[in-house]
Chain A
Amino acid sequence: MTFQSTPSQTVGPFFEIGLSRLYVNDLVGPGVSGERVEIEGKAFDADGQPVGDAVIEIWQANSHGKYAHPEDQQDKPTESGFQGYGRTPTQPDGSFRFKTVKPGRVPGPDGNLQAPHIAVSVFARGLLRRLVTRIYFPDEPANAEDYVLNLVEPARRHTLIAKRTTNRQATLEWNVVLQGADETVFFDC
């Protein structure tokens, strides 16, 4: 017997009361290894207006390329101070930030390792389904051979790759453009 999955509905404008308990924008606990990165950005709508009522969730492997999940059977260490989950609302100016570590590489569908990446879900008033996207890292040679990045037309790949910021070395910029000329690549997941 098969069932039909329950349809998605928008989080609406009042999600804060239900979702704030699990707001986590600093993912790095004590004793966690790896390169610290801060990812900051803004969410924009089709008119370039900030989206100040979105909630952004991230999911990533630790610096060894290991997920804190039983289906990750790789022989790599987990770290008790790093669960790999983050959730944050956007501020009225559309901004958000996460403090995390750069994830290690995990296997891809073609048998090769994927480039380091963070899986992202975006929810907001006006979004009837979550939007799924990814954050990749700048100056990363593995990006060129990444299976998923190569599914994306070259002219749009840059929307998935965080940018270095000029003044702060450990801070990366990654924006979400929901619609428009420079629309972020979203995935059918």
Chain B
Amino acid sequence: MTCLRGYRRPPPGTQPNHLHPQYVSSIKRAPAKPLVYLPHTLSEVTGPMFEASSSDLKACDLTRQHSGEPLGERIIVSGRVLDEDGRPVPHTLVEVWQANAAGRYLHKIDQHDAPLDPNFTGTGHTLTDSDGRYRFVTIRPGAYPWKNHHNAWRPAHVHFSLFGPAFATRLVTQMYFPGDPLLSFDPIFNCTADERARNHLISSFDWESTLPENALGFNFDIILGGRDETPWEKAK
């Protein structure tokens, strides 16, 4: 058989543990038994591939999905999807969803007493280009309260879902905004022990992508697992 190269495992502390008691919902849902180490096989180094759909132009501009303009501060969120070796991940699907400027999701179970915006759905998708780049136009989401602890507020964030080249590289994450005072109080942001890794979740203000008279730019690069250098060896 041909030798298979798997994907690298994250160094300790650079990804969250499953159980993070400060995030109350993890207490009854995180597995309690140790995970079983899975060597990457053909099943894990392959994964679903998606093509661009006809709706792509509107899908990556969340401010143009309705007849009017959404309320709030228009922003551009862009960046590159790279692997751990800095190589671009081309033509991979990026899905996003977020609250509106008032901190309300267009979702039936969101009961936060803040207005919905008839001109904002808060969902988009795009494919990275051949250089791994993606770009969304949206509005800056609002913070919103949740019931995790007394006076708990989620810092403003955009949810990201990525597939990458393989089942092993699947990632769902959240992008935050620089200088947000709520970050230090947020158990979800703080669930990753390694501070440097955690800070990768904070976008940076991006002068170059900022459009004059139009929108502030934020850069958010996303790093997916890199490939092992050597083929996987037969286990002992």
Contact = CB atoms under 8 A, between A and B. Distances in A.
Interface in B153-201: 159, 161, 165-168, 170-174, 188-189, 191-192, 194, 196-198, 200-201
A9 interface: yes
Point out which of B11, B159, B192, B232 has the most chain A C-beta atoms below 10 A from its C-beta.
B159
By secondary structure, the A interface counts as loop
Contacts of A45: 28-29
Given A14-B107, A71-B46, A151 B37 contact: yes
Nearest to A118: B43
Contact of A186 (B10, B35, B41): B35
Nearest to B232: A109
By secondary structure, the B interface counts as loop
Nearest to A110: B234
A108 interface: yes
B30 A119 contact: no
A112 B21 CA distance: 42
Given A126-B23, A179-B32, A188-B36, A8 B172 contact: yes
A184 B37 CA distance: 14
A7 B15 contact: yes
B105 A8 contact: no
Contact of A109 (B41, B50, B201): B41
Interface residues of A, number: 75
A151 to B, nearest CB: 6
Nearest to B95: A18
Contact of A2 (B25, B85, B123, B172): B85
Point out which of B14, B45, B110, B170 has the most chain A C-beta atoms below 10 A from its C-beta.
B170
Nearest to B200: A6
A188 B8 CA distance: 11
B121 interface: yes
Interface stretch (A30-38, A129-137, A166-174): A129-137
Interface in B6-32: 9-11, 14-18, 20, 23, 25-32
A138 B235 CA distance: 26
A111 B10 contact: no
Given A109-B4, A123-B172, A183 B33 contact: yes
Contacts of A46: 27-29, 32
A77 interface: no
B225 to A, nearest CB: 5
A5 interface: yes
Point out which of B18, B29, B30, B125 has the most chain A C-beta atoms below 10 A from its C-beta.
B29
A117 B43 CA distance: 9
Contact of B29 (A51, A83, A130, A187): A51
Contacts of A5: 10, 14-15, 84, 171, 223-226
Interface string A104-117: 00111111001001
A56 interface: no
Interface of A: 1-19, 21-22, 45-47, 49, 51, 53, 57, 59-61, 67-69, 71-73, 83-85, 106-111, 114, 117, 119, 121, 123-132, 147-148, 151-152, 156, 178-180, 183-189
13 contacts: A4-B194, A9-B159, A10-B174, A12-B174, A67-B43, A111-B234, A127-B29, A128-B16, A147-B39, A179-B30, A183-B33, A188-B38, A189-B40
Given A9-B174, A18-B159, A185-B33, 13 more contacts: A5-B226, A7-B173, A8-B173, A11-B161, A14-B110, A17-B106, A59-B47, A124-B29, A178-B31, A186-B31, A186-B33, A186-B35, A189-B44
